[in-house]
Amino acid sequence: MLIDGISDVTLANGVVRIQLNTVNPDGTDAKVGTIEIPAAIVGDIVNGLAASVNELNAKLIEVNEANQKTDSKKDSKDGKKKDK
């Protein structure tokens, strides 16, 4: 399921319901699903999601930095070969 946003969050009967939306090809919003979380553990779930996203972000930064170093090494090698 691809989501583009959250349209509504409600709490009823001890359950937090998060309505998820996507954007159709014609640009209109469409509901694509609902996440239902017991209210007693919603804090743990949100904190777990935030921690996971932070870990993924750190890994992406590492990969991007490694790719930049590799690209700069290739550029410097290419420059040396052209100078000869």
Beta-bridge mates of residue 15:
12, 38
Whether 73 maps to a domain, the answer reads yes
Per-residue pLDDT of 16-51, as tens digits, reads 999 999 999 999 999 999 999 999 999 999 999 999
The domain containing residue 74 runs over which residues? 5-79
Share of the chain above pLDDT 90, in %: 76
Q: Which residues contact 14 (CB under 8 A, 6 or more apart)?
A: 38, 39, 40
Is residue 58 assigned to a domain?
yes
Residue 66 lies in a domain: yes
pTM, full prediction: 0.69
- Whether 64 shows a pLDDT value over 80: the answer reads yes
- Tell me: pLDDT of 61 over 60: yes
Find the CATH number of the domain harbouring 31: 3.10.450
pLDDT attached to residue 17: 98
How many independent structural domains does the chain possess? Answer: 1
